[in-house]
Amino acid sequence: MKPLISIIVPVYKVEEYLDKCIESLVNQTYTNIEIILINDGSPDNCPHICEKWKKIDDRIVVLNKNNGGLSDARNAGMKIAKGEYFIFVDSDDYVSKDYVEYLYKVLESTNADIAVGKMQSFLEGTSPKNTKIDNDYVLTFSAIDAIRDFLYEKHFATSIQSKIYKKELFNDVEFPVGKRYEDLYTLYRLVSKCNTVSYGNKSIYYYLVRKDGIIGTLDPLKNKDFLLAAKEVHMYVVNHFCTIRKSADFKLFQAAIEMFVRLPNKTNNHEQECYKEELWRYVKKYRLQIVTDNNCKLKYRILAGVSFFGQNLLKCFFQIVSRRK
């Protein structure tokens, strides 16, 4: 018999999207699953939707708790999960019918500790692009190569979704409660424990970019955790995997410049001005290296080059590039 796989789904204020998410999970071709819906104190109709689906499919477990945030909900789900493997799905996203089956097949066929599938993002109000042109192949990585890959964002996204994990990887790892960018804080710790990480080049996870989400409203003053997480990862890589330090340098540069270009030119707040100066120091420290590193995304190599011409031009250029997306 195939092993039980736990799908952990935090739920909070997603009543508009939740049915589609759950429907995509109950219709999986891999059937030996438990679907854990963690109602994180959602004030809308989500609790009713969760209970409705629980009555429809007995593989669904509903856990109701007080609001504690995404990390706290995931941790609560893991504590009651019975599966040998964990999969995480955000409740405003949805997945392909063979999502679980494909991830498990990649994991099993390569004897991996983590298997990764291709994630496709789409803007709210639109649909994912046609994925029939995917050239399905599988790559395998050692822990150090996998960390390098996801820091450069080549095959691996730094998100926790679109992946399957052996349960034991989480024996001493939890998501950081009260922090944003919890995936970046967590993923490097999981990957560092692996012998093998495998990637399958098939679109199986559809990530909704909401207008009110963290990506759509990237306030640098509310998202300092991006820089803090990047600094933590950088320190870990320098201490344990120094041969891939450039990839950690890139992640730190990426966090700094993404935050810097969104800050106002002048503020009357001393704390904000100090934060702005810290971000600019990181931009200046790594920009020459980023320009010449072919592994870095072209967007950031260009931004690094433009930064040599001053802060104002950098921000203007960033606004132009952002409007053209």
Parse the chain into domains and list their residue ranges: 5-209, 225-323
Classify each residue of 92-118 as buried b or exposed e, where b means 16 or more C-beta atoms within 10 Å of its C-beta.
bbbbbebbbbbbbbbbeebebbbbbbb
Average pLDDT for the chain: 92
Between 206 and 218, the more confident residue is 206
The predicted pLDDT at position 215 comes to 45
Q: Is a pLDDT exceeding 70 seen at residue 217?
A: no
pLDDT at position 263 is 85
Nearest alpha-carbon partner for 183 in 211, 214, 204: 214
The pLDDT of residue 219 is: 64
pLDDT for residue 127 is more than 90: no
pLDDT number for residue 216? 43
The conformational region for residue 138 under phi > 0 = left, psi -120 to 50 = alpha, else beta, is: beta
pTM reported for the whole predicted model: 0.92
Strands 163-166 and 114-123: antiparallel
Average pLDDT (33-62) is 97
**5-209: which CATH architecture?**
Alpha-Beta Complex (3.90)
Q: Kindly give the interhelix angle for 70-80 and 182-191, rounded to the nearest 10 degrees.
A: 40
Selected residue with higher pLDDT from 267 and 319:
319
Segment 259-279 shows an average pLDDT of 86
Residue 34 above 60 pLDDT? yes
